[in-house]
Amino acid sequence: MTGRTELATVGTVHDEGSWLFTATDANGNDEEVILVPCADGVEAWVNRCTHEAQRLDRGFGAAIRDGQVICPKHGSMFDACSGYCDNGEAADTTLVPVDVAVEGGTVYLADRSYTFRREGGLDAGDGDDEGDGGPSSTSHIGF
């Protein structure tokens, strides 16, 4: 399959709840991207809340409930299939999409604006143990 990088299987994303990888964008910047289960397969979003650029998946899976990806800082909920948020601090915004394709149960990176780097987040395997990169939560939401 030319021009696309194999990422994961649809089954893996559905079983694990989300799947995190790092890609380089067209400007040479590394970005975290999450694959999330959707009724029709999977969708991919830049791993960043639209409100305060908080990581949705902090390296141990995105919090997802009832088809909604939940921001761990303020609790804004984004539809996993459309990326749209209709509540909380991020209301009326949409997550940044990353194009993927599903073929034969396998998910491929199809967005020509991104180049796959590795499975996992920006800090995966860099040997730096300073902090977990997560937000300092101001909410009382527990997951």
Q: Is residue 137 part of a domain?
A: no
Name the residue with tokens 């749209």.
84
Q: Is residue 71 part of a domain?
A: yes
Do residues 27 and 17 lie in contact, with contact meaning Cβ atoms separated by under 8 Å? no
**Distance of alpha carbon 55 from alpha carbon 137, whole angstroms:** 12
pLDDT for residue 127:
44
* Domain CATH for 85: 2.102.10.10
pTM of the model: 0.84
When divided into structural domains, the chain yields a total of: 1
Give the range of the structural domain holding residue 21, as residue numbers without chain letter: 5-108
Q: Is residue 132 part of a domain?
A: no
The per-residue pLDDT of the chain, averaged, comes to: 87
